[in-house]
Structure 1
Amino acid sequence: MPNTQCQMPNTQKLQDLMQQVGISSFKALSRAAGVSERQLLRLRQGKLEQMRVDVLLKLSPVLQMPLNELIATFSTVELLQEKAAPSQELLQEITDLRKEYQRSQFQLEQQREILLQELQQSTLQLLESLLLQWPTAAQKAQENPQLAAVKIVPLVQKPLEKLLQAWGVEAIAPVGAELPYNPQLHQLMEGTSLPGEIVKVRYTGYLQGEKLLYRAKVSPV
C-alpha cells in the first residue's frame, strides 16, 4: 500500500492551520475559500507550483495567514530556490491579480446597485395607481366610515395582480374554492384530510413557475 504521508506531506500542516481557524474538514475549507478540493489536494501533495496564484489569494484570508507566509509554509526549500529568480514577477502577478479582484468586486457592486434600482423602478411603475390613489381613498374611508370596502378593494387588488403577473407569480387557488387536498400544495389549518378529499381554501398560496412560495391554507369540507 502506498505511503499516504509521503504522497501528501503537507496534509498535517494544512490540518493544523484549519484547526486554528475552526475549520473541521477539507470540504468545509473548499466551501469557505471558494476553491476546489482538487486544488487543496495539490497543496497537500506539495505541488504548490501547480496551483494558480488566485487560489492562494482565496486561501490566505480564510486560513488567516499572509500570502507570503502561506507560500513559505507549503513550499519546499528546492522550490524556493528555483523560484528565487522570478520572485519579482510573481509578486507583480499577485499585485495585478489583487487589483483585478478589487476591480471585479467594485463592478459587481455597481451592477447590483443598478439591478436593484431597475427592480425598484419597474415595481413602482406597476404600483403607480395604488401609490397615487390609495392615500386619498384611505383618507375618505376615515372621513366616512360607511364607505363600502368594495369600492376600495380594486385600488389594491389590480396593482397587486399586475405585479404578481410581471414576476410570474400565480395563485394556487382562489379563496373559497373547494378542491382535492394535495399536501404538497395545501396546508391544513384544522382537522385532518387524506390526499384527494375535498377541502376549502381559506388563504390562497402562490407558485412562481415550478417553485412553491407559499402553500394554500385549507380546511376540511
Structure 2
Amino acid sequence: MNHYSYETNKQLLQDLMRQVNISDIDELSSVAQVARLQLIRIQRGLILNLSVGAIAKIARALNISIDSLVETFVEQSTAKIKHEEHKADDALASCQQEYQKLQHEMLVQQEFLEAEFQKASLETIESWLLQWPTAVAAVCRNPQLPAARLLPLLQPLEQLLKHWNVQAIAAVGDKIAYDPQYHQLIKGTAQLGDLVQVRYVGYKQDQKLLYKAKVSPVETSNP
C-alpha cells in the first residue's frame, strides 16, 4: 500500500473513533478487545484479512454496523486499486507514445542516412552517370568505335566498389586453383586444388562472399 492510501485509511479510522470519543487505536484495541495489529491492518487496507469476529468487535466499539465498517475501508481499497490502474494506464499510454516517437525518429534517421548514402554514391559515379549515356549513343551511331575508349568511363564504378571494399575474386582469364568455397563450375568437374580458368568474376566484401567466380576446368593434354 502506498503512503497516500495508508494516511487516508488512518484518517477514516480516526474520524470513526472521534465520533465515539476514542482517542487512538490503543484505546480502540482495549475497548474492542482486539489486537492492535488488527487495527493496523485496517489502516493498511487489509480489512478483508480480518476474521468476522474481529470485524464485529471493532464495529461494535465504533457503534456502526459491520457492513458500514467494511464498506468504508473496502471502498477506499477499491478507489486505490482504480487509482493504481489509472496510473498504470497513463504509464502504458506514455510508453506507447514514447515508442511511437522513437519509431518515427528512427524512420527519419533511416531516411536521412539512406539519402546521404545515395548522395555520396551518386557523387562518386557522377562522371560515369553524365558521360555513359553519351558514350552508349556514340557506339550505337558508330559500331566500329574501339571499346577501349569506353574503359576509362568505368573508373568511377571501380572507385565506388573500392570505397565499399568490394574485391574481385581473380580476373577473367586467370588460371587458379579450384576452391568450391569461392568458385562455381559452369561445366565439367574439378577437385579441390585443380587448375581452373575464371570465366566470370566473383566478388567478396571484406571476408563476406557476395558472388562466386564462375570457372571451368583447364584442359591438360597428356605428353
In the TM superposition, structure 1's runs of 4+ consecutive aligned residues that sit over 2 Å from their partners are 80-85
Quote the residue 1:178 is aligned against: 175
Cα shift at 1:133: 1.0
Q: What is the 5 A alignment of 1:55-70? A: none
Distance 2:174 2:88 in 1: 69
User: TM-score normalised to the size of structure 1?
Assistant: 0.61
Quote the residue 1:210 is aligned against: 207
Cα shift at 1:131: 0.9
Q: Return 5+ residue gaps in structure 2 as ranges.
A: 1-77, 219-223
Cα shift at 1:146: 1.2
Distance 1:84 1:151 in 2: 81
Deviates more, 1:147-156 or 1:160-169: 147-156
Is the counterpart of residue 105 in structure 1 residue 76 in structure 2?
A: no
Quote the residue 1:135 is aligned against: 133
1:152 to 150, 153, 157: 150
Cα shift at 1:82: 7.9
Q: Which has the larger radius of gyration?
A: 2
Quote the residue 2:120 is aligned against: 122
Cα shift at 1:154: 2.3
Superposed CA RMSD in Å reads 1.6
Distance verdict in 2 for CA 1:183–1:81, change over 3 Å: farther
Is the counterpart of residue 199 in structure 1 residue 196 in structure 2?
A: yes
Cα shift at 1:219: 0.3
User: TM-score normalised to the size of structure 2?
Assistant: 0.61
Instruction: Give identity over the alignment, percent.
Output: 45
Q: How many residues align?
A: 141
Distance 1:107 1:85 in 2: 33
Distance verdict in 2 for CA 1:82–1:200, change over 3 Å: farther
Quote the residue 1:56 is aligned against: none
